[in-house]
Amino acid sequence: PGFCTGCPERPIFAALKIVQQELGEHQITGDIGCHLFAALPPFEIGGSTMGYGLGPASNSAFDAGGSKRAISIIGDGGFWHNGLACSIVNMVFNRSDSVAVIVDNYYSAATGGQDLPSSRASNPTKATNNPISAAVRGVGVKWVREIDRTYDVPRMCEVFREALTTDYGGPKVIIASSECMLNRQRREKPLRQEAIDAGTRVEVPRFGVDEDICTGDHACIRLSGCPSLSLRNLDDPLRDDPVAHIDQTCVGCGNCGEVAEAAALCPSFYRADIVHNPTGFERWRAGIASRLIGHLQGRRERKSLSFGGAG
């Protein structure tokens, strides 16, 4: 088990792992929800879980003047279920110096994608669009940071560093928000296919790995853990180690490239936009580019050394 392909929670823990490599290990507690998968490889983040919404409350025992701040992970579902009263209010009341990370994926995703008070979608029978940030500020949290795109790993790292090193001594809350990829795909895929069938021009992002640049150290996999990011053996006698490879299950979230940039890994990731129903000009341009590339590759092959038939 693990995070789904494109899950917006994966970059949160990739960023936290990068920052811990810089600042050292911290006491981290988890909570009930999809984010609990961070306890498994490759992240191995979160040493305990007590109950739905009780992550920050259970971590209060470690908020006793240690050299490093305790970190708690809680989801938006756990926050509304129990966390606001039992965890966040507890942090404010006890003037906690710890950090709470609220993972906001717009739904109670682990149980099927049910709406929550903070869900963005309009619901005819429920009152949605109640911001988590307003709730935590309403109970007295002064230090609040909101990230509206968790895939921005450098930004995630920046906020984690700030929370763990700031001179501010009260409770610190990070709200990391991006929509659950499963729910997003359920909504967008039928609409995209409908547009393609109707002849509308549609771009679909995909990511890949340049095998000539990949060093084969697999650091990107250890910091990402994406199911679409695997290994491929090369037919090259000079390279024994398999290289990173992205398969066709990629949903184009871009986390792999963001992690590689934030951790200063090899620049082997690239983005390719697949164009459905291209315009006439795009077809013409693609034909010219294909012929030019074929010509240059042919010249390269003719200039390469050949050892065939050498005796």
E-state strands within the chain: 28-29, 71-75, 99-104, 143-147, 172-177, 202-209, 229-232, 243-246, 269-276
Higher pLDDT, 217 or 179: 179
Asked whether the predicted pLDDT for residue 13 surpasses 90, the reply is yes
Q: State the pLDDT at residue 297.
A: 84
Per residue in 96-146, pLDDT (tens digit) is 999 999 999 999 888 888 899 999 988 889 888 999 999 999 999 999 999
* 36 close to 2: Cβ distance less than 8 angstroms: no
* Radius of gyration of the chain from its Cα atoms, rounded to whole angstroms: 23
CATH 1.10.230.10 fits 201-303, yes or no: no
pLDDT, residue 306, reads 61
CB–CB of 107/183 below 8 Å? yes
- Rounded to an integer, what distance in angstroms lies between the CA atom of residue 43 and that of residue 84? 26
Residue 160: the pLDDT is 98
What confidence score (pLDDT) does residue 151 get?
A: 95
Q: How far apart are the first and last CA of the chain?
A: 55
Percentage of the chain beyond pLDDT 90 is 62
Output the CA–CA distances (angstroms, integers) from residue 25 to 17, 22, 55, 259, in the order listed.
Answer: 9, 9, 18, 19
The residues with which 72 forms a beta bridge, in sequence order, are 29, 100
pLDDT category at 65 given cuts 50, 70, 90 is low
Mean pLDDT of 79-91: 93
> Comparing 29-33, 45-49, 164-168, 287-291, which segment has the lowest mean pLDDT?
45-49
pLDDT at 75: 94
Domain 10-182 adopts which CATH fold?
Answer: Rossmann fold (3.40.50)
- Taking only the tens place, the pLDDT of each residue in 230-263 is 999 888 887 888 999 999 999 999 898 888 888 8
**pTM of structure:** 0.87
pLDDT surpasses 90 at 8: yes
Residue 311 has pLDDT above 60, yes or no: no
Mean pLDDT of all residues in 253-275? 88
In the predicted model, is pLDDT for residue 309 greater than 60? no
307 pLDDT higher than 80: no
Q: Structural domain boundaries of the chain?
A: 10-182, 201-303
pLDDT value at position 264?
Answer: 79
The overall average pLDDT reported for the chain is: 90
